[in-house]
């Protein structure tokens, strides 16, 4: 098969493109190497992949000749109130609208990477896909807008689209703004970790190879909307304790107030995607060990 992966120089997109390539598919990546974090890290992620520099929000899109498009490009991060909002509108809503338009026109099947952030203030745990959608962050609102755009293109123009709501992904190459990367880097370098909130916020952490497997299963045989979440919900404090044990080091924590828009709890109900034969297979402990080992090879140990 010939696949297009948007956001292929990013954390999840680069793992997905590599997995598709390893399975024998022909893979073309698209990325505009935004400076949300150091583009040099993205260049490194893209090594060994055919990633073309293109801005989905403005460049011409032609999806003819592809069997499927994995649309992972976007502006992540819940710190999306204030002046940065236009960036979220452009990289999530506008870019995705242009991708949906082109995919519908060129009759190409599409996977859209949405987020557990669309659930926001919902209080059903574990959270099934048909829960009320009440995003707390502008980021979550742009992802919900993208989902709604995808449905509109499906209804009105026959877009063949599957929506995946990823819950916190982790593992090697995790974005530098995400908690585990900041923790393993602080442990390795002996620097301080800035903890936002009391650390008792919980997440359905999902190892990146499990995210990739779910994404490919959705392209192969999915229809509709699916949660993609790890089997175990754990608090940030619990994960810090595991990383301290694995690394044999003690984390120096600097407390800060919780970030506006951050959910207190995410917990994925995954029976729908398990119906596709998918289950998360990497434990939190094994995944954290892999992420620690990755960081320890990159950050000079103090
Ligand atoms: N990492 C997670 O835990 C998580 C959770 C939920 C949802 N998601 C979603 O999954 C996707 C991938 O997340 P990630 O953590 O790998 O993020 P990432 O920032 O590492 O990757 C996204 C990539 O998209 C590219 N991009 C942004 N705007 C673009 C544009 N207009 N044109 C072309 N490329 C553009 C960026 O340069 C970046 O390389 C995102 O859409 C994110 O919102 C991620």
Instruction: List residues with catalytic annotation.
Output: 139
Atom of ligand 1 nearest to the CA of 173: 20
The mean pLDDT value for 15-31 works out to 98
Q: For residue 9, give the nearest of 34, 37, 35, 43 by alpha carbon.
A: 43
**Does residue 251 surpass a pLDDT of 90?**
yes
Question: pLDDT exceeding 90 applies to what percent of the chain?
Answer: 96
Give residue 7 CA to ligand 1 midpoint distance, Å: 6
Mutation pick for ligand 1 pocket among 72, 150, 182 (CB with most ligand atoms within 8 Å): 72
209, 15 contact by CB (below 8 A): yes
Q: What is the predicted pLDDT for the residue at 300?
A: 81
Which residue is it, tokens 């499927």?
Answer: 68
Q: How far is the CA of 197 from the centre of ligand 1 (A)?
A: 24
CA–CA gap between residue 203 and residue 68 (Å, rounded) = 30
pLDDT tens string 264-299? 999 999 999 999 999 999 999 999 999 999 999 988
Task: Give pLDDT, residue 301.
Answer: 84
Tokens 């992949």 -> residue: 49
Q: What is the pLDDT of residues 138-149, one digit of tens each?
A: 999 999 999 999
Which residues have any ligand 1 atom within 6 Å of their CB? 7, 9-13, 30-34, 36, 42, 55-57, 72-76, 91, 95, 113, 115, 166, 168-169, 175
- Residue 59: which of 93, 5, 95, 27 has the closest Cα? 95
Question: Is 254 in a helix, a strand, or coil?
Answer: strand
Q: How far is the CA of 13 from the centre of ligand 1 (A)?
A: 7
Q: Give the distance (Å) from ligand 1 centre to CA of residue 38.
A: 13
CA distance 177 to 285: 21
Residue for token pair 């990633």: 51
pLDDT band at 302 (very low <50, low <70, confident <90, very high): confident
User: How many angstroms separate the CA atoms of 237 and 295, rounded?
Assistant: 19
Residue 91, pLDDT above cutoff 90: yes
Whether 123 has a pLDDT exceeding 90, the answer reads: no
Give the mutation target among 10, 146, 174 for probing the ligand 1 site: most ligand atoms within 8 A of CB. 10
Categorise residue 165: left if φ over 0, alpha if ψ from -120 to 50, beta otherwise. beta
* Average pLDDT value for the chain: 97
Residue with CA nearest ligand 1 atom 21:
10
Report the share of the chain in percent with pLDDT over 70.
Answer: 100
The yes-or-no verdict on residue 113 having pLDDT over 90 is yes
Rounded distance between C-alpha atoms, residue 106 and residue 65, angstroms? 9
What is the distance between the alpha carbons of residues 209 and 150, in angstroms, rounded to a whole number?
Answer: 25
Are 167 and 230 spatial neighbours (Cβ–Cβ below 8 Å)?
yes
């Amino acid at each position: 098969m010939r696949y297009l992966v948007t956001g292929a120089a990013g954390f999840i997109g680069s793992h997905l493109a590599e997995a598709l390539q390893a399975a024998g598919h022909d893979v073309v990546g698209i990325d505009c190497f935004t400076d949300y974090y150091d583009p040099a890290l993205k260049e490194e992620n893209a090594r060994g992949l055919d990633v073309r520099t293109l801005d989905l929000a403005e460049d011409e899109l032609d999806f003819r000749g592809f069997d499927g498009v994995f649309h992972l490009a976007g502006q992540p991060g819940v710190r999306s109130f204030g002046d940065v909002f236009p960036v979220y509108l452009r990289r999530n809503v506008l870019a995705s609208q242009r991708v949906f338009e082109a995919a519908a026109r060129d009759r190409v099947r599409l996977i859209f990477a949405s987020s557990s952030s669309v659930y926001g203030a919902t209080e059903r745990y574990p959270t099934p896909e048909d829960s009320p959608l009440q995003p707390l962050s502008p980021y979550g609102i742009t992802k919900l807008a993208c989902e709604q755009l995808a449905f509109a293109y499906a209804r009105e123009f026959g877009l063949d689209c599957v929506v995946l709501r990823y819950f916190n992904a982790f593992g090697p190459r995790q974005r530098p703004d995400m908690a585990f990367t900041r923790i393993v880097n602080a442990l390795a370098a002996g620097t301080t970790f800035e903890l936002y909130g009391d650390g008792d916020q919980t997440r359905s952490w999902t190892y990146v190879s499990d995210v990739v497997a779910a994404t490919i299963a959705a392209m192969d045989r999915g229809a509709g909307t699916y949660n993609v979440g790890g089997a175990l919900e754990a608090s940030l404090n619990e994960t810090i304790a595991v990383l301290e044990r694995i690394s044999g080091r003690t984390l120096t924590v600097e407390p800060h107030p919780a970030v506006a828009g951050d959910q207190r709890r995410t917990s994925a109900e995954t029976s729908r995607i398990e119906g596709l034969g998918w289950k998360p297979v990497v434990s939190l402990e094994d995944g954290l060990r892999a992420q620690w080992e990755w960081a320890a090879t990159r950050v000079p140990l103090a």
